[in-house]
Amino acid sequence: MSGRQFPEEGPRFSRAQIRSARIATTAVFGFHGVALAQWFLRIPDVKIQAGLDDGQLGLALLGGAMGSVPAMPIAGALTARFGSTRVTAGIAVMFMLLFGLPSFATSQWILFGALMLFGVAVGGIDVAFNSQASEVEEHHGAPLMSGFHGSWSLFSLVGTLIAAPVMAMGISPEVHLTVTGLLAGGAIFVTTHWFLPSAPRHAEATRSVARLTPALFALGAIAGLSLLVEGAVADWSGIYLRTTLEMTPASAGLAFGAFSVTMATARLLGDRVAARFDPRT
């Protein structure tokens, strides 16, 4: 076992409760991954529908970051105040209502605004259920986080397998993404019933004492670059495959699925590596 230490403070839960919460958290990562895969594969259709060129789409896609970046620390503060279970359930309702909004965009700036709201829901709920994942890992007593993220990648592959026939049938982005948001958000809302109940934390308990050391800065930079690469593939691979390589929408979706498989493989190995070696190695 690694030198990693898991805190033992806080409420105690039975093995059955922890196991149920682990399954539920894995499922929520999965629902989120399935939903996001649908959006990634419909970006080329939304681009055509809004009449955008590549430059205009690139600017519009910044709306997602403009929404998610401020939403994430707010979601973190709400999670500390009300607990990850309540916040995940609450934002799941927003997810249901806002996920399909970008598919109705008819211009660059409407898409930008829709993606800001989309980013609030997608980014906020990401923080909330990752907080629950951290709590489950803490009470489990062994590394789990990489596996949770691996399940996201695996389910994004499932999402591509769902999206490919949907696009082949000619179902519109509006119907496709609206239904996806309702189903995925609703599933997340229901699944929080099996989360570990997290008690609100007092301000003094949540105050950060970490300092930005060079090592921490380097790790953050690596994570940021990784997200940049992942985002570039997710946002632009469909357009490249369909316009430059002239692949069908369904085939382009399956190609994105291959990327999801490789990402899932690396993530699913992460917990074993962390358990075998000190995470600082």
Average pLDDT of the chain is 88
Q: Do 135 and 198 contact (CB within 8 A), yes or no?
A: yes
For residue 103, the Cα-to-chain-centroid distance in whole angstroms is: 19
Residues 109-135: tens digit of each pLDDT: 999 999 999 999 999 999 999 999 999
Structure tokens at 68: 């998610």
The full set of domain ranges for the chain reads 15-197+213-276
Residue with tokens 């929408």: 249
How do residues 155-190 score in pLDDT, each as one tens digit?
999 999 999 899 989 999 999 999 999 999 999 999
Domain 15-197+213-276 belongs to what topology? Growth Hormone; Chain: A; (1.20.1250)
Who wins on pLDDT, 219 or 64? Answer: 64
Provide the pLDDT confidence category of residue 204 given band limits of 50, 70 and 90: very low
Check residues 35 and 242 and name the one with the higher pLDDT.
Answer: 35
What does pTM read for this prediction?
Answer: 0.87
Q: Does residue 199 or residue 87 have the better pLDDT?
A: 87
pLDDT at 3 over 60: no
As a residue count, the chain comes to 281
pLDDT (0 to 100) of residue 256: 78
Instruction: Collapse the DSSP code of 20 into the 3-class scheme (helix H, G, I; strand E, B; otherwise coil) and give the result.
Output: helix
**Alpha-carbon distance values, 150 to 40, 42, 157, 164, 263 (Å):** 18, 23, 11, 21, 7
pLDDT at position 199 is 63
